[in-house]
Amino acid sequence: MTRQVGVLISAIVAVIGSFVGSGAWVGTPVAEAADGALSATATLVAPSGPAFSIWTAIYIGFLAYAILQFFGGPRHDALRGPIALSMLLNAAWILSIQLGLLWLSVPIIAVLLVVLVRIFVSTQATPPESRLDALITDGTMGLYLGWVCVATIANATAWLVALGVTFGATAWAVAATAGAAVVGVGVAAYSRGAVAPAIGIVWGLMWIAQGRLAGDLLSAAVGWTAVAAALVVGVYTAVVRSPAPQRTMVSG
C-alpha cells in the first residue's frame, strides 16, 4: 500500500507543478520563464504554443493511473516506481525552468527520457490486465514518451542557443527533426506499431512544422522536414501495426 500511496502523491505533485508551469495560479508560464528560452520562437525546433495542450491528456492520465494502480495486479509492481519517478522528474523540470536554471533542465529531461524508455520496455514485456489498463497505463505513458522525445530535442536546442551556439542552426534543426523520425520508427518497430508514442511524436513534429511554416520564426527547410518526419512516423506505425496479409495457396 505504501508504494500505491507514493504514486498518488507523485501524481498530485506533478499536477500541482503543471499549474505552476502554466502560470494559472502562481509561477510563470514556461514559455516566458528562463528568459523565454522555451518560447515558440526561441529556436527552429520549438513547437508552437498549442502543442503543449497535450499535457492536459498526460496529466489526466497521471491521475487516472494513480487510481488504477491501487487495483492493479503483478504487472504494476514493476511499473509503480518508474512511473512515480517520471512524475516527480516532470515536476523537477518545471521547477528548474521556474528558477531560470535552463542548464539544469537538460539533464533532468534526459533522465526523464531514459525513465520513460524503461517504462515503455516494461509495458511491452507485460500485457495489460484489461482494456482500461491498456488505455490508461500504456496510453498515458506512451503519449508521455512520444512527446518527451520531441521535447528533449527542443530543450537541448534552447540551451545551446542560450549559450550562444547558433552556427549551423538550420542544419542542426533539420537533422534533429529527422532524428525524431528515426526514433519514432524505432519505437514503432520495437512495439509493432504502438499508437500512443507515435501520436506524441507526430503531434510534436507537426507543431514544429506549423511554427516554421506559418509562425513568427519561419524556415521552410525545417518546416517541411518536420512534416515529412511526422508522415514517416505515422505511416510506418500504421504499416507495422496492420496484420500481415494471408497468403493463399494456388493448386494447379
**pLDDT tens for each residue of the chain, 252 residues long:** 789 999 999 999 999 999 888 776 778 899 889 999 999 999 999 999 899 999 999 999 999 999 999 999 999 999 999 999 999 999 999 999 999 999 999 999 999 999 999 999 999 999 999 999 999 999 999 999 999 999 999 999 999 999 999 889 999 999 999 999 999 999 999 999 999 999 999 999 999 999 999 989 999 999 999 999 999 999 999 999 977 555 444 433
CA angle, corner 63, sides to 102 and 76, nearest 5? 100
Phi and psi torsions of 185, nearest 5°: -65, -40
Residue-level length of the chain: 252
Contact by Cβ (8 Å): 75, 128: yes
List of residues 6+ apart from 211 with CB closer than 8 A: 40, 41, 46, 47, 48, 217, 223
Q: Any idea what DSSP says for residue 48? A: P
| CA–CA distance, 93 with 106 (Å, rounded to integer) | 8
Alpha helix ranges (H) inside the chain: 2-22, 54-68, 80-98, 102-125, 131-133, 139-162, 169-191, 195-214, 220-241
